[in-house]
A and B are shown apart, each in its own frame.
Chain A
Amino acid sequence: MAAVLKEQDDLLVPTLAVPTTPLVKVIGLHVGENEKHKVFWETLQKRVEQGETVVRYERCTPDTINFPPRKDKPQRQLGITEEDYIPPGIMKLNWPTKHALKIPAVLVVFIQLEWEAEDWEDKEQECAQLFESLRSARNNRSTRFVAILEQSKPQTSVPEETITRRAHTFRTACDLRHRSSLFTLDMPQGQIPTAVEKLDAIFFDLAQQHYSDEIKRVEAHMDIANQATEHMLFVRYLFKVGFFSELKGAHRDAISRYHRALEFLAKVGFTSARAREIKTVAGVLVARMCRCLFQTSAPLEAIAQFSAHVRANRLRLAPGEHPAVHAAWIAQQYATFASLFKDAVDGGLGAIMLQHPGLYFKFAAEFAVRRMTEAKKTQSHTPAPGPVAAETHTYIGQVVYTCEAASNAQQLQLIKWHEQQYPHASVVLQLLNAARTIFETYCVTKQPAVVNGQIVAREKKLTRMLTILDLQRAKFLVLQRNFADATTLARAAARAFRAGRWWSLLRDALLLHKQCAWALGATGAFCTTCIELCAPQIPLSAEDKTLAQSGIDDVVQGTHMDDSLSEDFPVAFGSAASDATTSSQDGGGGDRDQTDGGPQIDMASITPAVECKVLLYEPDPETDNRVRVCIAFRSSLPLPLRITNIAPALHIAVDGDGADDDGSTKPGTSDAPDLSISLSSTTALIPNSTKVVELWLATPPRLPSTAAVVCTHVRAAIVGTHPIALCWSTPDASMTTTTTTTTMPPPAQLTTTPWSALPSIPKTAFVPQRTGVRITHAHTPPAFVGERYRIAVTVANTKSSPTTDATFRVEAGGADGSPTTVDLLQVAVDGKTHTSSSDRLSAPLPDIQANASQTVMVDVLVNAVGHLAITTRLEYTFMGVECVAQHSLSLPIVTPLHTTFQLLDTQGESLDHEMSLPAGQDMCVGVQIETTQPERLVLVDAWLQLPWAAAVAKPLRLSACHEEIGAGERVSDLVRITLPPLVPGADPTTTALGTFHIKWRRATSTCDDGDGSSCVETTSTLPMVDIHPSTLDCRLHSPT
Chain B
Amino acid sequence: MKISGVAIVGRQNEPLLLRTSEAQPPCEPIEHIIYAALDVVDDHALLSAKKSTPDALKFYLGALYPLEDGKCYGYLVNTKIKFFIITQSQAHSDQDVQSIFQQLHSEYVRMACSPFFKQDAPITSAKYVRFVDSLLASGS
Contact partners of A502 in chain B: CB under 8 A? 14-15, 31, 35
Closest to A370 in B: B27
Contact partners of B36 in chain A: CB under 8 A? 464-465, 468
Contact partners of B50 in chain A: CB under 8 A? 448
How many A residues touch the partner, as a band? 20 to 34
Contact of A359 with B66 at beta-carbon distance under 8 Å, contacts A501-B12, A505-B35 already known:
yes
Interface status of B46 (Cβ within 8 A of chain A): yes
C-alpha gap A497/B65 in the complex (Å)? 19
Interface status of B94 (Cβ within 8 A of chain A): no
Q: Is the CB of A366 within 8 A of B28?
A: yes
Digitize A355-367: 1 where CB-to-B-CB distance is under 8 Å, 0 elsewhere: 1000100010011
Q: Is the CB of B40 within 8 A of A353?
A: yes
Q: Is the CB of B27 within 8 A of A366?
A: yes
C-alpha gap A500/B35 in the complex (Å)? 9
Q: Is the CB of A501 within 8 A of B14?
A: yes
C-alpha gap A842/B111 in the complex (Å)? 77
Whole-angstrom distance between the Cβ of B16 and the nearest chain A Cβ: 10
C-alpha gap A355/B64 in the complex (Å)? 11
Whole-angstrom distance between the Cβ of B59 and the nearest chain A Cβ: 19
Closest to A506 in B: B31
Closest to A334 in B: B68
> Interface residue count for B (Cβ, 8 Å)?
26
Q: Is the CB of A468 within 8 A of B32?
A: yes
Q: Is the CB of A443 within 8 A of B39?
A: yes
Interface status of A462 (Cβ within 8 A of chain B): yes
Whole-angstrom distance between the Cβ of A460 and the nearest chain B Cβ: 9
Interface status of A664 (Cβ within 8 A of chain B): no
Contact partners of B68 in chain A: CB under 8 A? 310, 334, 363, 366-367
Contact of A464 with B39 at beta-carbon distance under 8 Å, contacts A366-B68, A445-B46, A501-B14 already known:
yes
Which of B13, B14, B43, B89 is within 8 Å of A445, CB to CB? B43
Contact of A354 with B39 at beta-carbon distance under 8 Å, contacts A311-B90, A500-B14, A502-B15 already known:
no
Digitize B38-75: 1 where CB-to-A-CB distance is under 8 Å, 0 elsewhere: 11101100100010000000000001111011000000
C-alpha gap A818/B103 in the complex (Å)? 85
Q: Is the CB of A447 within 8 A of B46?
A: yes
Which of A307, A462, A467 is within 8 Å of B90, CB to CB? A307
Report how many A-B pairs have Cβ atoms within 8 Å.
60
Contact partners of A497 in chain B: CB under 8 A? 35
Q: Is the CB of B39 within 8 A of A465?
A: yes
Closest to B32 in A: A468
C-alpha gap A354/B31 in the complex (Å)? 18
Contact partners of B15 in chain A: CB under 8 A? 501-502, 504
Contact of A468 with B35 at beta-carbon distance under 8 Å, contacts A353-B40, A502-B14 already known:
yes
- Contacting residues of chain B (7-27) with chain A, CB-CB under 8 angstroms: 12-15, 18, 27
Whole-angstrom distance between the Cβ of B84 and the nearest chain A Cβ: 13
Q: Is the CB of A463 within 8 A of B39?
A: yes
Interface status of A153 (Cβ within 8 A of chain B): no
- Contacting residues of chain A (651-687) with chain B, CB-CB under 8 angstroms: none
Question: Which of A443, A447, A464 gathers most chain B CB within 10 Å?
Answer: A464
Question: Which of A311, A445, A471 gathers most chain B CB within 10 Å?
Answer: A445
Contact partners of A359 in chain B: CB under 8 A? 66
Which of A307, A354, A355, A501 is within 8 Å of B40, CB to CB? A354
Contact partners of A445 in chain B: CB under 8 A? 42-43, 46
Q: Is the CB of B27 within 8 A of A462?
A: no
Which of B14, B32, B69 is within 8 Å of A314, CB to CB? B69
Q: Is the CB of B35 within 8 A of A354?
A: no
Whole-angstrom distance between the Cβ of B97 and the nearest chain A Cβ: 16
Contact partners of A355 in chain B: CB under 8 A? 66
Q: Is the CB of A504 within 8 A of B31?
A: yes
- Contacting residues of chain B (83-98) with chain A, CB-CB under 8 angstroms: 89-90
Closest to B67 in A: A363
- Contacting residues of chain A (295-340) with chain B, CB-CB under 8 angstroms: 307, 310-311, 314, 334
Q: Is the CB of B13 within 8 A of A500?
A: yes
C-alpha gap A447/B14 in the complex (Å)? 22
Closest to B14 in A: A501
C-alpha gap A359/B69 in the complex (Å)? 12
C-alpha gap A311/B35 in the complex (Å)? 25
Closest to A501 in B: B14
C-alpha gap A651/B40 in the complex (Å)? 46
Contact partners of B46 in chain A: CB under 8 A? 445, 447
Contact partners of B40 in chain A: CB under 8 A? 353-354, 462
Contact partners of A334 in chain B: CB under 8 A? 68
C-alpha gap A748/B28 in the complex (Å)? 52
Whole-angstrom distance between the Cβ of A329 and the nearest chain B Cβ: 14
C-alpha gap A355/B46 in the complex (Å)? 20
Contact partners of A501 in chain B: CB under 8 A? 12, 14-15
C-alpha gap A334/B38 in the complex (Å)? 25
Contact partners of A463 in chain B: CB under 8 A? 39
Contact partners of A464 in chain B: CB under 8 A? 35-36, 38-39
Contact partners of B13 in chain A: CB under 8 A? 500
Closest to A461 in B: B39
Whole-angstrom distance between the Cβ of B54 and the nearest chain A Cβ: 15
Whole-angstrom distance between the Cβ of B69 and the nearest chain A Cβ: 7
C-alpha gap A314/B89 in the complex (Å)? 12
C-alpha gap A229/B65 in the complex (Å)? 44
Question: Which of B12, B35, B43 gathers most chain A CB within 10 Å?
Answer: B35
Name the 7 nearest CB pairs between A and B, nearest first: A462-B39, A501-B14, A465-B36, A363-B68, A464-B39, A445-B43, A468-B32
**Pairs A–B under 8 Å by Cβ, sample size 8:** A354-B64, A366-B68, A445-B42, A462-B39, A468-B36, A504-B15, A505-B31, A505-B35
Give me 20 other A-B pairs in contact (C-beta within 8 A), A366-B27, A462-B42 excluded.
Answer: A310-B68, A314-B69, A353-B40, A354-B64, A354-B65, A354-B66, A359-B66, A445-B42, A447-B46, A448-B50, A462-B39, A462-B40, A464-B36, A464-B38, A471-B32, A500-B13, A500-B14, A501-B14, A502-B15, A502-B35
